[in-house]
Copies of this chain bind each other. A is one copy, B any other.
Amino acid sequence: MPIVTLTTDFGTSDWFAGTMKGVVLGIAPRARIVDITHDVPSGDIRTGAFALAAACAYFPKGTIHVAIVDPGVGGSRAALAVKTKRFHFVGPDNGILSMALAAEKGVAAHRIENAAFMLQRPSRTFHGRDIFSPVAAHLACGVPITRLGPKVKDYVRLAIPTPEMDAGQRRGEVLHVDRFGNAITNIPAEAINALGGELQVTVARRTMPVRDHYEAVPNGSPVAVIGSCGFLEIAVNSGNAARRLGLKRGTRVTARQTRTVPKPFSR
């Protein structure tokens, strides 16, 4: 029986996520349910999309990924179920699935319309419980995606800012700040590796070396690393880079090749 993952902004202080699990297990009693996160900031589709994209590939083939950050619930946005070569994805058609789908092959998206796979009389305010959970559970039970509704040609895609690549330089921006205050940028590892030589990174008027792990600089010093998502990441060894350097989504980051050995960090 496949895994069903949940990525939402429902929080954990109400009963929303738990209720979804009750619905899934009522239909697919042997499904394994895994929380990716329920603490996406309220209504922040972009952060939810990033979390799903960062996590989904680490699940086994056949996993059903449900992602719900859905300020337009009950309105005109469509509900989607998407089949890819290795996974199913389920969620509102507002971009929440799009960053994950960008890395998938064999993408076929269907509009969820068949009420037979929803709870009876679905509410207009909690499709997570009434539509997305039962659909995910039915997919887990082997219902073919084609029964959920018609195939759609396209779906909403979030614009993902692409880094600028110049000779000896990469310019990008912060995509996500994690709970440690590490700032994940949109500059991929390959773009950094292609630069070669000694590198330095400038962000928020501070310059720092690129190293292969946090402890390669003194405690409290900023450092750029290739993070676990495969992107350049700004950190402070044993500290909170976002707070220390004032970083947030959209902060500009430049990585450049330098012949000189980078100067050690000083205030």
A residues near B (Cβ < 8 Å) are 3, 5, 7, 10-19, 21-23, 25-26, 29, 32-40, 42-43, 51-52, 54-55, 58-60, 63, 71-76, 123-126, 129-130, 178-180, 212-216, 225-228, 233, 237-238, 240
With A125-B227, A227-B123 as given contacts, are A72 and B215 in contact (CB-CB < 8 Å)? yes
Q: Which residues on B sit within 8 Å (CB–CB) of A19?
A: 36, 54-55, 58
Q: A7 to B123, alpha carbons, bound, how many Å?
A: 24
Residue contacts A-B, CB under 8 angstroms, 25 given: A3-B25, A7-B15, A12-B37, A12-B39, A14-B37, A14-B179, A15-B55, A18-B35, A18-B55, A22-B60, A23-B58, A25-B34, A25-B60, A29-B60, A33-B34, A58-B129, A71-B238, A73-B215, A74-B215, A75-B214, A75-B216, A123-B227, A123-B228, A125-B214, A125-B233
Residues of B within 8 A of A125 (CB): 213-214, 225-228, 233
Q: Using CB atoms, name the residue of chain B closest to A57.
A: B22
Q: When the two chains form the complex, which single residue of B12, B38, B59, B71 contacts A22, counting CB atoms closer than 8 Å? A: B59
Contact A36 B60 (CB under 8 A): no
Q: Is the CB of A39 within 8 A of B13?
A: yes
Nearest residue in B to A27 (C-beta to C-beta)? Answer: B60
| A212 touching B179, Cβ below 8 Å | no
On whether the beta carbons of B55 and A11 are closer than 8 Å, the reply is no
Determine if A22 and B5 form an interchain contact, defined as CB atoms under 8 angstroms apart: yes
Q: Which residues of the partner chain B approach A17 to less than 8 Å between Cβ atoms?
A: 35
Given A129-B228, A215-B72, A215-B74, also A22-B58 (CB < 8 A): yes
Nearest-Cβ distance from residue A174 to partner chain B, whole angstroms = 14
Q: Provide the residues of chain B in CB contact with A32, threshold 8 Å.
A: 25
